[in-house]
Amino acid sequence: MSNTELHQLGVAELAAQLKSKEISAVEAAQHFLARAKQHQHLGAFVSIHEDTTLAQARAADALIAQGKGGRLAGVPIAHKDIFVTKDFPTTAASKMLKGYQSPFDATVVTKLAASGAVTLGKLNCDEFAMGGANENSAIAPVGFDAAQPVRNPWNTERVPGGSSGGSAAAVAARLAPAVTGTDTGGSIRQPASFCGITGIKPTYGRASRYGMIAFASSLDQAGPMGRSAEDCALLLSEMCGPDLDRDSTSLDVPAEDFTAQLNDSIEGLRIGVPAEFFGDGLSADVRAAVDASLKEYEKLGAKLVPITLPRTELSVPVYYILAPAEASSNLSRFDGVKFGHRAQKYADLNDMYKKTRAEGFGDEVKRRIMIGAYVLSEGYYDAYYLQAQRIRRMIADDFQTAFKDCDVIAGPAAPTTAWAIGGKSDPVSNYLADIFTLPASLAGLPGLSLPAGFGDAGMPVGLQLIGNYFSEGKLLNAAHRFQQATDFHLQRPAGI
Ligand code: GLN
C-alpha cells in the first residue's frame, strides 16, 4: 500500500495492517500529521505536537513488535478539545482556558490510549461545546493567528455543524481515521450529518464524563465519530465502561464489544418513523434523502412503523432552559482563582471575578450563563426550571411508549444540510435547528447519525437512528447493514 492511500483506510483496515506490520504506527502518524498540515485551512485542529504523537507511535510499534498492543494499537485518532489531556493543552475552545495544561487525562482518553491509539492532536469545537455550527470557537486553529470558524470539507464556505465541528471536519477530510466528540444536545450527530460521516452518542452514563469539561452534566456524553458504523463500533467498545469512583453518573454496566452484533440480520427490524420529525420545518432535500434511506431499509427486510413523539417541539425550550441552567452552575468554577485566565488589573476580589469572566468567556457562553442564572433564580425557578424538568420526564416517557411498537426510531438528524458560514446569526435560529437531536439527549437515549445521501448543492444528509437504553449494538448493527448496501459513507469531498 502506498502511503498516499493510507488515509483512505478505515479504523478496522488500518488496525489490521498495523498488526500485520504492513505499516508502522510511526508511518501512519507521520502520514496523518502531514495531511493535517496540508488541510489546515479547514481549522480543524487547535493543537498538534508532532514529537508527542511520534513518541506515542514509537511506543505502539514497540508493543506491536512484542505481539502486544490493544485492538487500536498504532491507530491515529484525535480528541475534541473538551477532553483534558496531559500531553496536549486543553482549551474547550475558550480564552478562559487558553494555555491550560491538565495534569491528567480524561477517562475516555486513557481508555483509548490503553487500547493502543495514538493521539494526533486536539480538535476545534464551539466554546465549552455550546453551539451547532462551530462558529463559536475563541481559539486560533493550528496555522492561524486568530480564532476562525471551522470549515466544512464538502464546501469550505459552509459550517461543519457543531459543537464537534473540528472532529467531523477532520474525519470527512481524512485527517484522522476516527476521532472523539461529545454530545449534549446533538453535537456528535448533527456535525456527523453535516459532514457525511458516522457518529454515535451512547446511552447517558455509558462513557465516563471524568475529564470531559462539563457543559450540562445531566446531558453530556462522549462518543466516537468515524467514516463507518464499524469504525465507530470499534472505538465505542474501547471508550465505554464503568468509572464509578470518578464519575457519579457512570453506570455500572460492563463494557461491551459492539462489533459482535454488526452482522446480525435486520430482517423484521421494526423502525419507528415519528410523524413530528417530518413536519413543515424539514427541508425538501433532506426529506427526500431520508425517505430514500427508509426505503432502502425496507429492502433490507426492516418494517416501517408510524409512531408519534408528541412533545418533540417542546424539546427546544426544555433543553434551552435546562442546559443553560446546568452550564451556569458548571462554569462558575472559572473565576480566575484556580485555573485559566485571570484579569491583569482589578480593584478587589469581586472586580477580579467580574473582569476575568467578562474577558474570558465569549458571547454565546455569556448568553447561556445569563439564561441559566435567570431560570434558576427565586421566583422563576418554579416557572421555568421545574416545568422544564417535568416535561423532560414526559419526553422520556413518550419514547418508552413508542418503543412498545418499534425497535429503533429513524428520522433526519437535522432539518437542513449545512448552512453558509455566518448564515445564521440569530441565536434562536441556531437553537431551533437542534430540534431532532434534542429529544434523545433529554431522554438519555443512544443516538447515531449515518450518511444517507446528498441534498441540494451536493451537501451530505444524515439519517438519525435512536434506540432504547443500552441498544448501541443494535443501532450500530442497523447502520452497518445499511452501509454494506450503500456507499454514501465511502464518498468523499472533492480533492480529499
Ligand atoms: N447545539 C446544541 C447547543 O448549542 C448542542 C451542543 C452540544 O451537544 N454540545 O447546546
For residues 17 and 406, give the distance between their C-alpha atoms in angstroms, rounded to a whole number: 40
Residue 222 CA, ligand 1 centroid: distance in Å:
13
Strand partners, 447: 201, 466
Residue 3 has pLDDT above 70, yes or no: no
Residue pair 149/137 in contact by the 8 Å Cβ criterion: yes
For residues 31 and 345, give the distance between their C-alpha atoms in angstroms, rounded to a whole number: 46
Q: Which atom of ligand 1 is nearest to the CA of 323?
A: 10
The per-residue pLDDT for range 351-375, each reduced to its tens digit, is 999 999 999 999 999 999 999 999 9
Strand partners, 305: 272
Q: Indicate the top mutation candidate among 83, 123, 187 to test ligand 1's pocket, ranked by most ligand atoms within 8 A of CB.
A: 187
Residue 45 has pLDDT above 60, yes or no: yes
Closest-CA residue, ligand 1 atom 10, reads: 130
- Closest C-alpha among 23, 20, 16 to residue 4: 23
For residues 300 and 303, give the distance between their C-alpha atoms in angstroms, rounded to a whole number: 9
Q: Indicate the top mutation candidate among 81, 124, 184, 316 to test ligand 1's pocket, ranked by most ligand atoms within 8 A of CB.
A: 184
- Closest C-alpha among 314, 359, 300 to residue 334: 359
Q: What is the pairing mode between strands 270-274 and 303-307? A: parallel
Q: Which atom of ligand 1 is nearest to the CA of 215?
A: 9
The per-residue pLDDT for range 384-431, each reduced to its tens digit, is 999 999 999 999 999 999 999 999 999 999 999 999 999 998 999 999
The pLDDT of residue 224 is 99
Q: Which atom of ligand 1 is nearest to the CA of 364?
A: 4
Largest CA distance in the chain: 70
Residue 117 has pLDDT above 90, yes or no: yes
Residue 80 has pLDDT above 90, yes or no: yes
Instruction: Provide the annotated active-site residues.
Output: 80, 163, 187
- Burial letters 128-166, b for 16+ CB under 10 A, else e: bbbbbbbbbbbbebbeeeebbbbbbbbbeebbbbbbbbb
Residue 223 CA, ligand 1 centroid: distance in Å:
14
The pLDDT of residue 5 is 86
Helix (H, G, I), strand (E, B) or coil at 342: coil
Residue 161 CA, ligand 1 centroid: distance in Å:
10
As a whole-number percent, the residues of the chain with pLDDT over 90 amount to 98
For residues 200 and 330, give the distance between their C-alpha atoms in angstroms, rounded to a whole number: 25
Alpha helices in 331-361 (DSSP H): 349-360
The pLDDT of residue 2 is 54
pTM greater than 0.75: yes
Q: Which atom of ligand 1 is nearest to the CA of 434?
A: 1
Cis status of the peptide bond prior to 163, with omega within 30 of 0 = yes
Residue pair 159/126 in contact by the 8 Å Cβ criterion: no
Q: Which three cell numbers stand for residue 175?
A: 485527517
The pLDDT of residue 387 is 98
Closest-CA residue, ligand 1 atom 4, reads: 131
Residue 472 CA, ligand 1 centroid: distance in Å:
21
Q: Which atom of ligand 1 is nearest to the CA of 126?
A: 9
For residues 107 and 5, give the distance between their C-alpha atoms in angstroms, rounded to a whole number: 32
The pLDDT of residue 4 is 58
Q: Half-sphere exposure of 297 toward its Cβ, with a 13 Å CA cutoff?
A: 31
The per-residue pLDDT for range 198-220, each reduced to its tens digit, is 999 999 999 999 999 999 999 99
At residue 175, φ and ψ (nearest 5 deg) are: -90, -10
The pLDDT of residue 339 is 85
Q: What is the pairing mode between strands 178-183 and 76-80? A: parallel
Residues 6+ apart with CB under 8 A from 169: 42, 43, 44, 134, 150, 151, 152, 153, 160, 175, 191, 195
Please calculate the CA angle 271-274-280 and round it to the nearest 5 degrees.
140
Q: Which atom of ligand 1 is nearest to the CA of 132?
A: 1
Residue 31 CA, ligand 1 centroid: distance in Å:
32
The per-residue pLDDT for range 437-470, each reduced to its tens digit, is 999 999 999 999 999 999 999 999 999 999 999 9
The pLDDT of residue 25 is 98
Residue 180 CA, ligand 1 centroid: distance in Å:
15
Closest-CA residue, ligand 1 atom 5, reads: 185
Residues 6+ apart with CB under 8 A from 419: 133, 158, 159
* Contact residues of ligand 1, CB 6 A cut-off: 129-132, 163, 183-187, 215, 323, 434
Q: Which three cell numbers stand for residue 355?
A: 473582569
pLDDT, averaged across the chain: 97
For residues 282 and 43, give the distance between their C-alpha atoms in angstroms, rounded to a whole number: 29
- Closest C-alpha among 478, 442, 60 to residue 262: 478
Residue 163 CA, ligand 1 centroid: distance in Å:
6
Residue 293 CA, ligand 1 centroid: distance in Å:
26
Residue 86 has pLDDT above 70, yes or no: yes
Q: Indicate the top mutation candidate among 94, 124, 130, 319 to test ligand 1's pocket, ranked by most ligand atoms within 8 A of CB.
A: 130
